[in-house]
Amino acid sequence: MALSDPDRPHPESFLDAARAEGAGRRARGRLKIFLGASPGVGKTYAMLEEARVRQRSGIDVVAALIETHGRADTAGLLGYLEQLPRARIDYRGQTLGELDVDGLIARRPQLALIDEFAHTNVPGSRHPKRWQDVMEVLDAGIDVVTTLNIQHLESLNDAIAQITGVRVQETVPDEVLHSADQIELIDLPPEELIARLKDGKVYAAQQAGQALENFFTRGKLTALREMALRSVAGHVDADMLAYMREHAISGIWPAEERLLVCVNETGAGKALVRAGKRMAERMKIPWLAATVVTPRHEAMSPEARAGTMAALRLAETLGAEVAILRAESDVAGELLRFARERNVTRLVVGRPPPGPLLRRLPRLWREPVLDRLLNAAADIEITVLTPRAGALRRRALARRPLRPEWRAYGWACAAVAAASLAAWPAARWDAVPAGVLTVMYLSAVLVVGSRFGLGPSLAAGVLGFLTYNFLYTEPYYTFLVSGGSDIVSLSVFLLGAIFTGTLASRLKAQVEAMRASQARTETLYAFARRIASVTKADDVLWAAVAHIAKALDCHAIILTPDAAGTLQQVQGHPTIADDLDAKAEGAARWAFDKGEPAGTGTGTLPNSAWLFVPLATASHPFGVVGVRFRDPSRATDPDMRRLLLAVEDQVAVAIERNQLSDDLANARVAQESDRLRAALLNAVSHDLRTPLVSVIGATSALADGMDDLPDASRRELAQTALDEARRLDRTVQNLLDMTRLGHGALKPRRMAADLREIVGRVRADLERTLAHHTLRLVLPPDLPLLDVDPVLVGQVLANLLENAAKYAPAGTPITLEAGREGGHVRIAVSDRGPGIPEEQREAVFDLFHRAARGDSAPAGTGMGLAIVKGFVEAHGGSVAAGAGADGHGTRIVVTLPVARDAEDRP
Partner 1 sequence: MSAPARILIVEDEAPIRRFLTIALGSAGHETLEADGGRKGLELAATRAPDLVILDLGLPDMDGRAVIAAIREWSRVPVLVLSVRDGEGDKIAALDAGADDYVTKPFATGELLARVRVLLRKQATSAEDAPEIAAGSLKVNLAARTVSRDGRDVKLTRKEFDVLALLARHAGRLVSHKQMLTDVWGPAHATDTHYLRIAIGHLRDKLGDDAADPRLIITEPGVGYRLQIIADRVSGAGG
Kindly state the smallest distance separating residue 828's Cβ from partner 1, in Å. Answer: 15
Output the smallest distance, CB 885 to partner 1, in A.
21
Contact status, residue 855 vs residue 868, Cβ threshold 8 Å:
no
* Identity at 157, one-letter amino acid code: N
Residue 760: CB minimum distance to partner 1, A: 5
Q: Which of 558, 905, 554, 555 is nearest to 752 (CA)?
A: 905
Smaller CB distance to partner 1: residue 510 or 733?
A: 733
The one-character DSSP state at 888 is -
Query: Which of 457, 694 has the CB closer to partner 1?
Result: 694
Shortest spacing between CB 655 and partner 1, in angstroms: 53
Least distance (Å) between residue 775 CB and partner 1: 9
Please give the C-alpha separations between residue 117 and each of 79, 107, 129, 136, 281, in angstroms, as whole numbers.
22, 20, 8, 13, 22
Cα angle 186-211-190, degrees, rounded to a multiple of 5? 35
In the complex, minimum distance from the CB of residue 827 to partner 1, in angstroms, rounded to a whole number: 12
Question: How far is 153 from 176, CA to CA, in rounded Å?
Answer: 10
Q: Looking at 351-359, 422-430, 655-663, 788-796, which segment touches partner 1 (CB under 8 A)?
A: 788-796
Burial 799-836 (b: 16+ CB within 10 A, else e): bbbbbbbebbeeeeebbbbbeeeeebbbbbbbbbbebb
Q: Residue 177: which of 131, 245, 144 has the closest Cα?
A: 131
What residues contact residue 792 under an 8 Å CB cut-off, 6+ apart?
A: 746, 748, 871, 874, 875
* Residues 222-227: contacts with CB under 8 Å, at least 24 apart: 222/190, 223/163, 224/37, 224/38, 224/150, 224/151, 224/160, 224/163, 224/164, 225/37, 225/38, 225/187, 225/189, 225/190, 227/37, 227/150, 227/156, 227/159, 227/160
CB of 563 to partner 1, least distance (A): 44
**β-strands 82-83, 61-65 pairing:** parallel
Return the number of the residue (652 or 894) whose C-beta is nearest partner 1: 894
Whole-angstrom distance, CA of residue 154 vs CA of residue 134: 17
Binding mask 135-174 for partner 1 (x = CB under 8 A): ----------------------------------------
What Rg, from alpha-carbon coordinates, does the chain have? Answer: 46
Binding mask 319-358 for partner 1 (x = CB under 8 A): ----------------------------------------
Name the minimum Å distance from CB 873 to partner 1. 18
User: On the CB side of 165, how many CA atoms lie within 13 Å of its CA?
Assistant: 7
Size of the site for partner 1 (CB under 8 A): 28
Nearest-approach distance from CB 836 to partner 1, in angstroms: 27
Q: Answer positive or negative: Cα dihedral of 532, 535, 537, 540.
A: negative
Shorter beta-carbon distance to partner 1: residue 110 or 733: 733
What gap in Å lies between CA 1 and CA 123, rounded to an integer? 46
Contact letters for partner 1, residues 867-906 (x by CB under 8 A):
----------------------------------x--x-x
> Pattern 748-787, binding to partner 1, x per CB under 8 A?
-x-xxxx-xxxxxx-xx------------x-x-----x--
**Quick one: 738 or 759, whose CB is closer to partner 1?**
759
Distance, in Å, from the CA atom of 18 to the CA atom of 151, rounded to the nearest integer, reads: 32
Q: Find the shortest distance in angstroms from Cβ 868 to partner 1.
A: 16
The SS3 call for residue 379 is: coil
Evaluated on CA atoms 232, 234, 235, 236, the torsion sign reads positive
Closest CB to partner 1 among 794 and 870?
794
Four-point Cα dihedral 227, 178, 603, 588, nearest 10? 160
- Closest distance between partner 1 and the C-beta of residue 759, in Å? 4
Instruction: Spell out the residues 6+ positions from residue 276 whose beta carbon is closer than 8 angstroms to its own.
Output: 259, 261, 287, 289, 315, 320, 348
The residue range among 47-55, 81-89, 198-206, 789-797 that interacts with partner 1, by the rule CB under 8 A, is 789-797
Minimum gap (Å) between residue 796 Cβ and partner 1: 13
Closer residue to partner 1, CB minimum distance, 36 or 790: 790
Shortest Å distance, C-beta 871 to partner 1: 12
Interaction mask 502-541, partner 1, x per CB under 8 A: ----------------------------------------
Judged by DSSP in three states, 88 sits in strand
- Least Å distance, CB 783 to partner 1, is 10
C-beta of 78 vs 899, nearer to partner 1: 899
Stretch that binds partner 1, among 275-283, 374-382, 674-682, 747-755 (CB under 8 A): 747-755
DSSP, res 25: I
Q: Which residue's CB is nearer to partner 1, number 660 or number 778?
A: 778
684 binds partner 1 (CB under 8 A): no
654 neighbors 531 (Cβ within 8 angstroms):
yes
Q: Which is nearer to partner 1, 526 or 770 (CB)?
A: 770
Q: How far is the CB of 564 from partner 1 (least distance, A)?
A: 48
CB of 779 to partner 1, least distance (A): 6
Residues 433-472, one symbol each (x = binds partner 1 by CB under 8 A, - = not), give: ----------------------------------------
- Alpha carbon separation from 433 to 387, 418, 421, 423 (Å, rounded): 53, 19, 17, 11
Q: Are 185 and 230 in contact (CB under 8 A)?
A: no
Nearer to partner 1, 344 or 753 (CB): 753
Binding mask 705-744 for partner 1 (x = CB under 8 A): -----------------x--x---x---x--x--------
Distance CA 289, CA 323 (A): 6
Among 40, 790, 833, 862, binds partner 1 (CB under 8 A): 790
Q: Of the two residues 301 and 733, which places its CB atom closer to partner 1 in the complex?
A: 733
Closest approach, Cβ 729 to partner 1, in A, equals 6
**Whose Cβ is closer to partner 1: residue 334's or residue 789's?**
789
Q: Per residue, what are the HEC states of 554-608? A: EEEEEEEECCCCCEEEEEEECCCCCCCCHHHHHHHHHHHHHCCCEECCCCCCCCC
Give the nearer residue to partner 1 in terms of CB position, either 158 or 723.
Answer: 723
Smallest separation (angstroms) from partner 1 to the CB of 746? 10
Contact 500, 445 (CB under 8 A): yes
Considering only 427, 494, 791, 883, the residue that binds partner 1 (CB under 8 A) is 791
Give the binding range for partner 1 (CB under 8 A) out of 69-77, 511-519, 684-692, 746-754: 746-754
In the complex with partner 1, the residue whose CB is nearer, 418 or 791, is: 791
Q: Which is nearer to partner 1, 497 or 793 (CB)?
A: 793
Of 376 and 722, CB closest to partner 1: 722
Name 287's Cβ contacts closer than 8 Å, sequence gap at least 6. 258, 259, 260, 261, 276, 277, 279, 280, 319, 320, 321
Interface mask (CB under 8 A) for partner 1, residues 802-841, using x and -?
----------------------------------------
CA-based torsion, 871, 873, 874, 875: positive or negative:
positive
- CA 556, 562, 564, 565 torsion-angle sign: positive
Nearer to partner 1, 437 or 863 (CB): 863
Please, which residues bridge with residue 611 across strands?
599, 627
Q: Which residues pair with 752 in a beta bridge?
A: 787
Question: Interface with partner 1 by CB under 8 A: which residues?
Answer: 722, 725, 729, 733, 736, 749, 751-754, 756-761, 763-764, 777, 779, 785, 789-791, 794, 901, 904, 906
